[in-house]
Amino acid sequence: MTMTATQTCEAAAAAATAVAALSTRQKDLVLLDMAAAIEQHRDAILEANRQDVAEARRSGVSATLVDRLTLTDRRMAGLAATIRTVVALPDPVGQVTGGWTRPNGLLIERVREPLGVVAVIYEARPNVTAEVAALCLKSGNCAVLRGSSIAAATNRAIMTALDTAIARHPAVPAAAVQLVEDPSRASATELMRAKGLVDLLVPRGGPALIESVERDATVPTVIDGAGNCHLYIDASADRDMATAVTINAKTSRPSVCNAIETLLVHRELVTDWLPGVLDELTAAGVEIRGSAEVCDAWPKALAATEEDWDTEYLDLVLAVRVVDDVDAAIGHIRRHGTANAEGIVARDIDVARRFARLVDSGSVFVNASPRYSDGGEFGYGVEIGVSTQKLHVRGPMGLEALTTVKNVVWGSGQTRTVA
Amino acid sequence: MTMTATQTCEAAAAAATAVAALSTRQKDLVLLDMAAAIEQHRDAILEANRQDVAEARRSGVSATLVDRLTLTDRRMAGLAATIRTVVALPDPVGQVTGGWTRPNGLLIERVREPLGVVAVIYEARPNVTAEVAALCLKSGNCAVLRGSSIAAATNRAIMTALDTAIARHPAVPAAAVQLVEDPSRASATELMRAKGLVDLLVPRGGPALIESVERDATVPTVIDGAGNCHLYIDASADRDMATAVTINAKTSRPSVCNAIETLLVHRELVTDWLPGVLDELTAAGVEIRGSAEVCDAWPKALAATEEDWDTEYLDLVLAVRVVDDVDAAIGHIRRHGTANAEGIVARDIDVARRFARLVDSGSVFVNASPRYSDGGEFGYGVEIGVSTQKLHVRGPMGLEALTTVKNVVWGSGQTRTVA
């Protein structure tokens, strides 16, 4: 009999205390066994993946999706390697993030603890199954994994390997890591509404999934949302650095959320720097949509409309606008941005610091490409996503994002007098 | 013409950058002026309050509510004093909570910034108007205050005083602090749905308000929820300390969320300690509802039902249960608690540390009364509430809870190579 998503969450919630109580060593040992088990189950996992891929091809899904689904040799090796990366990361549980003593002698400590049950809804890529399982377990949480139906056989085969490893560790409950057996849309909705059972839901997917979570979720969520990212080139910028960062930020991987979509250029650079960089971008295949002043200075540009400032192209298209100063750039970004990642190139320290202060996004890059907005590049090892919200965590999310900070107060019999 | 709640939020959002940019000195100067203006407007505020109180009495609201609404001399003085307390607190904006340098030379800093627009829905007490205005402004946020209709005239009079002060500071936008002009239920719902305009909504009120926010809010919220708090007395406890903490935790102010509702007692204490403390509690007017073993040991106890373990009495009633050990106490609290504040009295260090680790609540008190779960007692000066959720902030909330932590990355022209 198939377990419903809600039943899976109930089993996770019942196991949460035991998983939270595991020591770092206990967690690392089971994770190492999980990595080994994936290698031992290699043939079964690849066979299941061939079934999923064949079925996906038959049902006519896009080539991009088939590519994401397919376990190449490198990706297969990556499953176990990811888990071993997580073993090497420091355990966030028990970290004391601050503390102080009150005049009455009470010692207040802020201590990181597991959230409890973390559910993740994700799409085709089977490596997410191993990544999320490892991140949740290392941070002392029970993982509820809701992969997509297109990867169902692959995910089941990976889960079988993980279960084999978990079964060898009596202190680790079987429900520490679970795959939702039914990968339907209904099971995703069940997770969104499993209030009191799920402590954090992370949706990893396209706009339709995010919209559905924003509409339907009653459980706490962290949204990994859109990336309409900006780069501002100040009058004080080193011209060569400005060119290199612009080209990198737009062309190194245009399909990801930390690629820039709009370039904001200080008025002083319109004649002496802008045409050159637009030539280089065009040579790299980028279509330029400019404001009126951009089109005047560089007539090959298409005319940008208001809509362009709000569009996440995720493609070789770049909107370009001339601004009067750093405040105009900050204003444009606050109006049109999605609070993901933004950058500035500037030598003027006051300009750079003002941009860093007043741009209200998850990450702000001064003299560096916003493409570095990434858990791996931040040193988090493996990322669970990139938060575009302000509460709990902003920007790339690693193990810490899967914890909560509790107050532990140590006394010697203090009682409170009523004022 | 009356502004709608949504229009108020729009004005706040438009002012957010300017308020975020204020220096600590600018904020402290306007706050000091706000305190002075409240004192200058004392007569008008008291006259407005008399109107509200008279109207409340006419409409037959409860004596408790009339009491909360009434500005006594002490409360009137408290309005300005609260603002001055906030002036004396350190500014959380710009605090660097952590940072590190990556092998490629990028310096990553985590920096506290204002959230933007903070809306608070609250009930009769007019002092909340001054408290929340001060906390939001000090933390660089625009405040949208939605007080209750019962206090409408008082709140308007306080707001007029605050406006007078703000008008004297050209750098501070008029929309930095606003009172929602229409204190209807509809305006509360508007605030809950002002997505993209409100960065944080804090509902301060009873279960009906909390339920409505949990159901209707599309904006980010921090819930100041129920307090079904527990105290566990371990076999290793100092008997006198156990008695003092128990009496304090139940009787010092039973109507507040950090008063305990259930006492969990180790089996070894049932005959030699429990009867004495139950006698003392009874003498203090507390009704005891005990598990079977409690009733056996102390026959005056009423028999507790399953429902008692889940009830927040907020009154002189205490549920009492015998447990086998600290793990049974932790299990009871995880099953029945509301993740607010819990306490333990124990001399055994392993027992105390296990309780502190595995009780999953906002605050855990070891050998101290859970009644200390309070922003003032934590040293936060003034509190915006007590969070019962796990994301963003747990337990008492001060200025820090009104900030978000952004990543600021400092480079020297780094561009990312694609793997």
B86's CB contacts (< 8 A; 6+ apart) are: B31, B131, B134, B135, B138, B381, B382, B399
Q: Where are the beta strands (DSSP E) in B276-315?
A: 287-290, 302-303
Task: Mark yes or no for CB contact A106/B363 under 8 Å.
Answer: no
Search chain B and give the residue with CA nearest A213.
Answer: B218
Task: Mark yes or no for CB contact B358/A115 under 8 Å.
Answer: no
Same domain as A203, residue A70: yes
Same domain as A321, residue A172: no
What number is the average pLDDT over the span B371-388?
94
A362 in contact with B, Cβ within 8 Å? yes
Cα pseudo-dihedral A275, A281, A287, A288, rounded to 10: -30
Same domain as B292, residue B188: no
Among candidates B352, B322, B363, B366, which has minimal Cα distance to B236? B352
Q: For residue B313, name the pLDDT band (cuts at 50, 70, 90).
A: very high
Query: Which CATH number belongs to the domain containing residue A352 in this structure?
Result: 3.40.309.10
Q: For residue B226, name the pLDDT band (cuts at 50, 70, 90).
A: confident
Same domain as B187, residue B256: no
Cβ contacts of B108 on chain A, cutoff 8 Å: 378-379
Task: Dump pLDDT digits (tens) for B324-373.
Answer: 999 999 999 999 999 999 999 999 999 999 999 999 999 999 999 999 99
Task: Mark yes or no for CB contact A416/B241 under 8 Å.
Answer: no
DSSP string, A45-100: HHHHHHHHHHHHHHTT--HHHHHHH---HHHHHHHHHHHHHHHHSPP-TT-EEEEE
Q: For residue B419, name the pLDDT band (cuts at 50, 70, 90).
A: low
A339 lies in a domain?
A: yes
Distance between B384 CA and the closest CA of chain A, angstroms: 16
A414 lies in a domain?
A: no
- Residue pair A295/A303 in contact (Cβ under 8 Å)? The answer is yes
Q: How many domains in chain B?
A: 2
B61 lies in a domain?
A: yes
What's the CA gap between B68 and A347, in Å, rounded? 56
What number is the average pLDDT over the span B404-419?
93
What's the CA gap between B169 and B81, in Å, rounded? 21
Search chain A and give the residue with CA nearest B96.
Answer: A357
B245 in contact with A, Cβ within 8 Å? yes
Q: What are A266's strand-pairing partners?
A: A323
Search chain B and give the residue with CA nearest A214.
Answer: B218
Task: Dump pLDDT digits (tens) for B16-38.
Answer: 999 999 999 999 999 999 999 99
Same domain as A209, residue A285: no
What's the CA gap between A140 and A160, in Å, rounded? 21
B404 in contact with A, Cβ within 8 Å? yes
- What DSSP character marks residue A18? H
B185 in contact with A, Cβ within 8 Å? no
Q: How many residues does chain A have?
A: 419
Q: What are A263's strand-pairing partners?
A: A231, A320
Same domain as B247, residue B210: no
- Minimal Cβ distance to A106: which of B111, B360, B372: B372
A258's CB contacts (< 8 A; 6+ apart) are: A227, A229, A340, A341, A370, A371, A372, A373, A374, A386
B255 lies in a domain?
A: yes
Same domain as A257, residue A189: no
Interface of A with B in 216-235 (CB under 8 A): 218, 220, 222
- Minimal Cβ distance to B252: which of A116, A363, A416: A416
Task: Mark yes or no for CB contact B408/A366 under 8 Å.
Answer: yes
B382 lies in a domain?
A: no
B415 lies in a domain?
A: no
pLDDT of residue A419: 59
Most A CBs within 10 A among B408, B416, B418, hence the mutation to make, goes to B416
- Intra-chain end-to-end CA distance of chain B, in Å: 60
What's the CA gap between A261 and A306, in Å, rounded? 14
List average pLDDT for each run of 10 residues in chain A, which is 419 residues long.
93 97 98 98 98 96 92 95 97 97 98 98 91 97 96 97 98 98 93 96 90 91 92 98 98 93 98 97 98 97 97 96 98 95 98 97 98 96 93 97 98 90
A327's CB contacts (< 8 A; 6+ apart) are: A354
Same domain as A234, residue A217: no
B253 in contact with A, Cβ within 8 Å? yes
For the beta sheet containing B117-121, the strands, ordered from the edge strand earlier in sequence to the opposite edge, are B177-179, B142-146, B117-121, B200-203
Distance between B150 CA and the closest CA of chain A, angstroms: 27
A381 lies in a domain?
A: no
Task: Dump pLDDT digits (tens) for B87-136.
Answer: 999 999 999 999 999 999 999 999 999 999 999 999 888 999 999 999 99
Same domain as A288, residue A334: yes
Task: Dump pLDDT digits (tens) for B264-305.
Answer: 999 999 999 999 999 999 999 999 999 999 999 999 999 999
Q: Give one word for A87, left, alpha or beta, with left for phi > 0 and alpha for psi -120 to 50.
A: alpha
Same domain as A338, residue A193: no
Neighbours of A413 (CB within 10 A): 16
A413 lies in a domain?
A: no
Same domain as B314, residue B255: yes
Query: Which CATH number belongs to the domain containing residue B83 in this structure?
Result: 3.40.605.10
What's the CA gap between A214 and B196, in Å, rounded? 12
Cβ contacts of B361 on chain A, cutoff 8 Å: 406
Task: Mark yes or no for CB contact A414/B199 under 8 Å.
Answer: no
Tokens linked to A219: 């459980």
Distance between B59 CA and the closest CA of chain A, angstroms: 31
* ipTM score above 0.90: yes
Distance between B212 CA and the closest CA of chain A, angstroms: 12
Cβ contacts of A416 on chain B, cutoff 8 Å: 248, 252, 369, 371-372, 377
Neighbours of A349 (CB within 10 A): 10
Same domain as B54, residue B162: yes
Domain range for B263 is 229-376
C-alpha to C-alpha distances, A106 to A52, A94, B108, B239, B380, nearest whole angstrom: 58, 19, 34, 20, 14
pLDDT of residue B225: 81
What number is the average pLDDT over the span B224-235?
94
Contacts of the segment A250-255: beta carbons below 8 A, 24+ positions apart: A250/A281, A250/A284, A250/A286, A250/A316, A250/A318, A251/A281, A251/A284, A251/A285, A251/A286, A251/A316, A252/A369, A252/A371, A252/B415, A252/B416, A252/B417, A252/B418, A253/A371, A253/B418, A254/A313, A254/A314, A254/A315, A254/A316, A255/A314, A255/A315
